[in-house]
């Protein structure tokens, strides 16, 4: 029995290393593209086209919580969050010039790239 114990320890360590290696963790990339939109309910003396002020993605990676943000103003802002853990949940927040906000949660899928095109806050 004493001969078996020294052989079990390296075997257990190798098994644990392969189970927790970074190669076994599935990840995906998430891209959000926010576009300006036409606000038909805006007062006549205000701008009708609302540019994108800020886009943020918050999620979980293999090393912990991550986020990325892009600021404008611009007619289109694109942000990519790399290596988001699968399965997990991530949040997208978009703010336009007029103060309108869009906040939505999504679940990651096993595909290599996820893209969201957001054209209005509602």
Sign of the torsion formed by the C-alpha atoms of 10, 23, 92 and 68? positive
Looking at residue 7, its pLDDT comes to 57
Nearest to 70 by CA among 39, 108, 37, 31: 31
- Asked if the structure places residue 9 within a domain, the reply is no
pLDDT tens digits for range 58-107: 998 877 899 999 998 999 999 999 989 888 899 999 999 988 999 999 99
Read off the CATH number of the domain in which 76 is found: 2.60.40
- Asked if the structure places residue 12 within a domain, the reply is no
Which residue stretches of 1-122 are H helix?
4-19
Domain count of the chain? 1
> What is Dmax (Cα atoms) for the chain?
88
- Asked if the structure places residue 15 within a domain, the reply is no
Give 7 or 108, the one with higher predicted confidence.
Answer: 108
Phi, psi of 34 (to 5 degrees): -105, 135
Looking at residue 12, its pLDDT comes to 62
For residue 114, say if its preceding peptide bond is cis, omega within 30 degrees of 0.
Answer: no
In the predicted structure, residue 52 carries a pLDDT above the cut 50: yes
Range of the domain at 113: 25-118
Give 112 or 75, the one with higher predicted confidence.
Answer: 75
- Asked if the structure places residue 16 within a domain, the reply is no
CA–CA dist 82, 2 (Å, integer):
48
- pTM for this predicted structure: 0.75
Exposure of 32 in the CB half-sphere (CA atoms within 13 A): 29
């Amino acid at each position: 029995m004493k001969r078996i114990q020294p052989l079990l320890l390296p075997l257990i360590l190798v098994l644990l290393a392969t189970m927790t290696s970074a190669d076994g963790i599935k990840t995906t990339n998430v891209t959000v593209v926010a576009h300006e939109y036409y606000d038909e309910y805006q007062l006549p003396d205000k701008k009708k086209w609302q540019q994108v002020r800020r886009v943020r993605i918050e999620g979980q990676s293999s090393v912990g919580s991550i986020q990325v943000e892009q600021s404008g103003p611009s007619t289109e802002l694109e942000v990519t969050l790399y290596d988001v853990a699968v399965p997990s949940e991530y949040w997208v927040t978009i703010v336009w010039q007029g103060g309108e906000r869009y906040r939505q949660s999504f679940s990651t899928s096993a595909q290599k790239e996820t893209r969201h095109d957001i054209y209005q806050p509602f």
